Amino acid sequence: MSDTLVRVEKGTADAEELAAVTAVLLARAAAGNPDATPARPRRTAAGWRRLERTPGFRAPHSWQG
């Protein structure tokens, strides 16, 4: 199994440095924040409309357009 989880983009990191970074990341991920609220509240309704349920004609000066 050789899945890469962490990649060094610039510079060179030896095994000890990668192990330290991995340990910090895993510790932060495991700690979590139980009272954290999501960044955006979830929608209760779909954000789209079904076109077949809209009236066939809409006046050009309509506010719904």
**Model pLDDT for residues 3-36, shown as the tens digit of each residue:** 776 777 888 889 899 899 989 888 888 887 767 6
d(CA 46, CA 65): 19
Six-digit token string for 18: 């990668």
pLDDT of residue 23: 92
